[in-house]
Amino acid sequence: MKKIIPVNSTKELTAFIDFPHDLYQDDPNYVPELFIAQRDLLTKHPFHKHNQLQCFLAYDGNQIVGRIAAILNNSHNEYNHVNDGFFGFFDCINDQETANLLFNEAAKWLENKGVTDKFIGPVNFSTNEACGLLIEGFDSPPVLMFTYNAPYYANLIGNFGFTKQIDLIAWNWKGQAYDDKSVRLLDALQERLKRSNIIIRKVNLKNFKQETINLREVYNNAWDKNTGFVPLSDEEFDYLAKDLKLILDPDFCLIAEQEGKIVGFGIALPDYNEIFKTIKRGRLLPTGIFKLLFNKSKITGIRIYALGVIEGYRKLGIEACLYGTIIKEYKRKGYTTADAGWTLENNDMINKAILAIKGNPYKTFRIYEKVI
């Protein structure tokens, strides 16, 4: 007999976080999320101060067979003038009945909270966090901060009545298989920018608090017209920046600045998923912490996490300079793979730019919607 229960206790939350480890225990491409990071995301993240979330577990007898989180993102609704609800953290065995029970329970919770428009997902809070269902590119593990799921999930979601809202594209380069024009022209591009008093510099980690304040404004402005975007609050951006500081390499954290005003930035991160893949059930203790500390130098890939320029400064060559500098550092440090994205499928300008430097669109993620 299948049943759905709300997650209310610490023990149930642990079971909620751990379920994917059991579901994917035989999948060679699965990468466990760090337990402590998932726990904090679901309980301590500043998102919870202004929004609501309820996790649910599906049981068949005493066996967990699925999970889902119903998410009421008030910030999204206020910013976009809608009344939507979301689902995230969705994992399920290949059983339509179980999936339907989970979706129905999440939808009912959202309706009780007053949601009247659309049911959207999978989105783990908003597009500022992990989101989208993998629908193409199952032949390799996810890189840092990308989602992962079995191919059958698309049928479970589609059969419930969800339809495509938008696709997200992930890009990849292997070895030196990129167009290095932006590297070859880097000096000339930077000289041209200097005539407008625009420079490209590395982030100042000694003054990281002030850098974060300035970057927050650029982040919220650079992506404000993207589908589903929600500006991050001061606390949410500080939380993100604090996490990123733990893993960022300042050589890959670049700022475009005009006379002290930040007008754009680009961040690439070492692909720590290469290490997380080896940490059993995402536990840093007792041995996982040592794998993390001692294997950092063995990481072979990077993920271009974010690259944006504010309105009024685009098409000046700033984007090319940021890409060129990242490529130059990638080559200097001896990395062998690079990923970028995701990007929205309808962002023609950035997608054409990535294609021009021989980016390979190797994974596609989909966000779905359904009228409540």
Q: Which pLDDT score is estimated for 179?
A: 64
Do residues 91 and 195 both lie within one domain?
Answer: no
DSSP 325: H
Is 213's pLDDT higher than 80?
yes
What is d(CA 97, CA 15) in angstroms, rounded to the nearest whole number? 21
pLDDT for residue 236: 92
Pair 302, 325 in one domain: yes
Q: Say whether both 152 and 256 belong to one domain.
A: no
From 115, 143, 169, give the residue that closes a domain: 169
pLDDT band at 182 (very low <50, low <70, confident <90, very high): low
What CA–CA distance (Å, rounded) separates 341 from 304? Answer: 7
Q: 188 and 162 in one domain? A: no
- Judge if 161 and 306 occupy the same domain: no
- Note down the domain range covering 237: 174-363
Last residue of a domain, one of 136, 169, 202: 169
Nearest to 131 by CA among 155, 109, 148: 148
- What CATH number has the domain bearing residue 134? 3.40.630.30
Give whichever of 156-160, 231-235, 261-265, 288-292 has the largest mean pLDDT: 156-160
Residues 35-63 have pLDDT tens digits of: 999 999 999 999 999 999 999 999 999 99
65 and 197 inside one domain: no
Distance CA 72, CA 93 (A): 25
Whether residue 347 sits in one domain with residue 327: yes
Q: Which two tokens stand for residue 167?
A: 């696709």
d(CA 71, CA 85): 6
Separation between Cα atoms, residue 21 and residue 30, nearest integer Å:
8
Give me the pLDDT at residue 148, please.
98
Could you tell me if 256 and 335 lie in one domain? yes
| pLDDT (tens digit per residue) in 339-357 | 998 999 998 888 888 888 8
* Of 106-115, 161-170, 312-321, the least confident: 312-321
Q: Please give the Cα distance from 275 to 265 (Å, whole number).
A: 27
The answer to whether residue 42 sits within a structural domain is: yes
Q: Are residues 199 and 321 in the same domain?
A: yes
Q: Which of 114, 148, 169 is the last residue of a domain?
A: 169
> β-pairing, 118-121 with 85-92?
parallel
- Clarify whether residues 129 and 255 are in a common domain: no
Element (H, E) at 241: helix 234-247
Average pLDDT of the chain to the nearest whole number: 92
Q: Please indicate, yes or no, if residue 127 is contained in any of the structural domains.
A: yes
Q: How many domains does the chain have?
A: 2
pLDDT digits (tens, 9 = 90+) for 78-110: 999 999 999 999 999 999 999 999 999 999 999
Q: Which two tokens stand for residue 195?
A: 């005539």
Residue 277: what pLDDT?
96
Q: Judge whether 97 lies within some domain.
A: yes
276 in a domain, yes or no? yes
Q: Within this chain, do residues 238 and 344 fall inside the same structural domain, yes or no?
A: yes
369 in a structural domain: no
Residue 190 lies inside a defined structural domain of this protein: yes
Mean pLDDT check: name the lowest of 67-71, 128-132, 360-364.
128-132
Q: Is residue 14 part of a domain?
A: yes
Residues 158 and 97 in one domain: yes
CB atoms within 10 A of CB 245: 15
Question: Is 368 within a domain?
Answer: no
pLDDT beyond 80 at 222: no
